[in-house]
Amino acid sequence: MSFATFYQRSIDDPSAFWTEQARRIDWHHPFSQVLDDSRPPFTRWFVDGATNLCHNAVDRWVATRGEQPALIAISTETNSEKTYSYRELHAEVQRMAAIMQSLGVGRGDRVLIYMPMIAEATFAMLACARIGAIHSVVFGGFASHSLASRIDDATPKLIVSADAGSRAGKILPYKGLLDEAIKLAQHKPAQVLLVNRGLAAMATVAGRDLDYAEQRQRHMDAKVPVTWLESNEASYILYTSGTTGKPKGVQRDVGGYAVALATSMDTIFCSKGGGTFFCTSDIGWVVGHSYIVYGPLIAGMATILYEGLPVLATSRPDAGIWWSIVEKYKVTRMFSAPTAIRVLKKQPPELMQKYDLSSLQALYLAGEPLDESTSSWIAAALGVPVIDNYWQTESGWPIMTVAKNIENKPCKLGSPGLPMYGYKVRLLNEATGALCGANEKGVVVIEWPLPPGCLQTIYGDDQRCVATYWATRMPDSGLPAYSTFDWGIRDEDGYYFILGRTDDVINVAGHRLGTREIEESIASHPNVSEVAVVGVEDKLKGQVAVAFVIPKAAESSAEGRARLETEIMRVVDQRLGSVGRPARVYVVGLLPKTRSGKLLRRSIQALCEGRDPGDLTTIEDPASLQQIKDALRV
């Protein structure tokens, strides 16, 4: 079957299409209705069907894959590795579930998970899914104020945390941050369950704080049956990164999510049971939920949970650590982010070449636009297909990519690919609201209804969900449209190219430009390794573009930096015209990023405008901010 036929069936007859896909998972009892679209823009999938994420990820494999590796927990921060078989994972999840139940956690209760990348974090997520509790994973190390706002929004009965995490050899005490967050929060959780890794001293609160090891010992022989949930009950809440003010908690269902992940693991990630999936993300982000924890396990694979960096700390440098993991555990499919690959690109090529990577069949990249030079370099270095994909916290699984297991269509450099099944992706002219033609820039929207696995709502706030995402109407059908808030272009073959956020638009003397367009043009300069462009307030023009670049060959002299700036201006003139030319180009050695690899453009912008850069708890390297400040002084 061609992909076009497969896709069109999902659009023309979604009930029949998704009924077929629903056979990929176990149902305790069948659904009575595939799609309930009676209350637009909300949808309900697989109505009345009863299933469970933990059952589909763990229990159903114990009989046939019981001794097969399921979870491989690796920490290059603590030099530890442990593999859990499906049978062992089943036992650990039941122990965690029994602890939760003993603390009064039940169906519909919220459990906030604030943990590093350790096995117990996965146990906690799966245990919540098992007993019908709703988990909310907050990225480990989030600042106390940010954590407090999430505690108040989710009102968890229990928080699961640890003494500390570690990043590049630096210990980050979680317990102190958590205690301060609870002090700041209006909602006070009844219990806190703590994993003591022995990394940092921590004070405990009598009557509230419990030691995980002691509690686990009490429930070693626990048998906790699966709680079968109606397909549309909530599975988890995940707060979107970069949220300001009141947190925006994306709420996900159970059945639709399980079906979407099972389908994507086969059709998009070409993954089969018995293989090993290595996703380098973090469980604090949606990629970690979908493709570290649930997706690979639903597919019957081993999944790698990795605590560490692609390049180890300077005290024990090793830029081949990922490739050593691929070799040792025979990784078949790998998922990472372009930023991480750019970091590795700077390392000696022999660090990759000394490992046997013959098990690896494909590398998938997402999280930010993939530039052509990075894609070409890693594809040549690995000798495997490099497949881009585009999606969001709200979608839960790829909106655009190339589904190689349906049809081996080519990838296009610079494009994440084609709309995936179930997603009716369109481009709308921002000014007129009209549909865009080929090669015409517009806002990327998805016509209602969204396919299974996407957000149900913003937790506790349907009205905010509608106002935030569904304010647009399709000009041809009048149906609601979900806005991605991204600019895009579609070529004659139907491939999309993402140009950046609509809310990162620079308005220069009435000309609206996406930062991504300017960044792409600057990145084409042969001596530019990385670039960030922000709009800075200007009294005359409203805003001007300012660029910060990391050169491939360091420019130590003022003359060299000035020459590079002039050359970059010329490149932008050639590719975008003078309207896109930055007012200034600053040469730096580092750019501020989160630990997940996303550029902190808003913080850069704030520094340029003399404002407070905001909460920088998740910043990877604080020295990068000083580099921005120093550059601005020159």
Q: How far is CA 75 from CA 82, 195, 200, 286, in A?
A: 9, 15, 17, 21
The C-alpha atoms of residue 340 and residue 366 are separated, in whole angstroms, by 11
The C-alpha atoms of residue 299 and residue 262 are separated, in whole angstroms, by 6
Q: How far is CA 93 from CA 119, 120, 256, 258, in A?
A: 10, 9, 23, 18
Of 171 and 241, more confident: 171
Q: Which residues contact 207 (CB under 8 A, 6 or more apart)?
A: none
Q: Are the C-beta atoms of residues 9 and 1 closer than 8 Å to each other?
A: no
Of 515 and 226, more confident: 226
Per-residue pLDDT band for 243 (boundaries 50, 70, 90) equals very low
pLDDT of 76 strictly over 70: yes
pLDDT of 574 strictly over 90: no
Segment 244-265 shows an average pLDDT of 91
| Cβ neighbour number for residue 596 with a 10 Å cutoff | 21
- Phi, psi angle pair for 29, to nearest 5°: -145, 150
Q: How far is CA 132 from CA 89, 128, 179, 210, 349, in A?
A: 18, 6, 27, 22, 47
Give which of 71, 575, 583 is closest to 297, Cα–Cα.
Answer: 71
Give which of 96, 89, 131, 124 is closest to 216, Cα–Cα.
Answer: 96
Q: At what angle do helices 119-131 and 86-102 cross, to 10 degrees?
A: 70
Q: Which residues contact 161 (CB under 8 A, 6 or more apart)?
A: 113, 114, 115, 174, 175, 178, 192, 193, 194, 195
The C-alpha atoms of residue 207 and residue 163 are separated, in whole angstroms, by 18
Per-residue pLDDT band for 247 (boundaries 50, 70, 90) equals confident
pLDDT at 242: 38
Pairing relation of β-strands 496-501 and 457-458?
unpaired
Give which of 205, 215, 130, 207 is closest to 175, Cα–Cα.
Answer: 205
Tens of pLDDT, residue by residue over 515-566, are 877 888 899 899 999 999 998 988 767 788 999 999 988 877 889 899 999 9
Q: List the beta bridge partners of residue 418.
A: 401
∠ CA 190-196-199 to the nearest 5 degrees? 130
Q: Are the C-beta atoms of residues 496 and 417 closer than 8 Å to each other?
A: yes
The C-alpha atoms of residue 611 and residue 536 are separated, in whole angstroms, by 11
Of 614 and 484, more confident: 484
What domains, with CATH codes, occur in the chain? 22-65+86-268 (3.40.50.12780), 421-508 (2.30.38.10), 511-633 (3.30.300.30)
pTM reported for the whole predicted model = 0.86
**Residue 102 belongs to what H/E stretch?**
helix 86-102
Tens of pLDDT, residue by residue over 25-58, are 999 999 999 999 999 999 999 999 999 999 999 9
pLDDT at 440: 96
- Phi, psi angle pair for 60, to nearest 5°: -70, -10
Amino acid identity, position 409: K
**Residue 267 belongs to what H/E stretch?**
helix 255-267
3-state secondary structure of 44: strand
Q: Mean pLDDT of all residues in the chain?
A: 92
Which long-range contacts link 202-209 to residues 24+ away (Cβ below 8 Å)?
202/163, 202/164, 202/173, 202/175, 202/176, 203/175, 203/179, 205/179
Strands (E), 217-266: 229-230, 236-239, 249-252
pLDDT at 313: 55
Tens of pLDDT, residue by residue over 178-221, are 999 999 999 999 999 999 999 999 999 999 999 999 999 999 99
List the structure tokens of 460.
């506790």
Per-residue pLDDT band for 109 (boundaries 50, 70, 90) equals very high
Q: Are the C-beta atoms of residues 632 and 608 closer than 8 Å to each other?
A: yes
| Cβ neighbour number for residue 378 with a 10 Å cutoff | 22
The C-alpha atoms of residue 182 and residue 49 are separated, in whole angstroms, by 38
Q: List the beta bridge partners of residue 390.
A: 400
Q: Are the C-beta atoms of residues 102 and 577 closer than 8 Å to each other?
A: no
Helix runs in 470-622, H state only: 515-523, 558-576, 601-608
Burial (0-12, 13-18, 19+ Cβ within 10 Å), 475: middle
pLDDT at 62: 98
CA 64: distance to chain centroid?
A: 31
- Phi, psi angle pair for 546, to nearest 5°: -125, 135
CA 50: distance to chain centroid?
A: 28
3-state secondary structure of 485: strand
pLDDT at 505: 67
The C-alpha atoms of residue 86 and residue 91 are separated, in whole angstroms, by 9
3-state secondary structure of 496: strand
Q: How far is CA 575 from CA 21, 107, 202, 522, in A?
A: 45, 56, 55, 9
- Phi, psi angle pair for 199, to nearest 5°: -95, -30
Q: Are the C-beta atoms of residues 402 and 387 closer than 8 Å to each other?
A: yes
pLDDT at 540: 66
List the structure tokens of 401.
């990519």
* Gyration radius of the chain's alpha carbons: 24
Tens of pLDDT, residue by residue over 398-438, are 999 999 999 999 999 989 999 999 999 999 998 899 999 99
- Phi, psi angle pair for 77, to nearest 5°: -80, -35
The C-alpha atoms of residue 382 and residue 483 are separated, in whole angstroms, by 36
Residue with tokens 């042969």: 526
614-629 in b/e form (b: 16+ CB < 10 A) is eeebbbbeeebbebbe
Give which of 628, 634, 615 is closest to 242, Cα–Cα.
Answer: 615
The C-alpha atoms of residue 579 and residue 566 are separated, in whole angstroms, by 16
Q: Are the C-beta atoms of residues 67 and 274 closer than 8 Å to each other?
A: no
Q: Rounding to the nearest 10 degrees, give the CA dihedral for residues 56, 59, 62, 65.
A: 20
Q: Are the C-beta atoms of residues 125 and 113 closer than 8 Å to each other?
A: yes
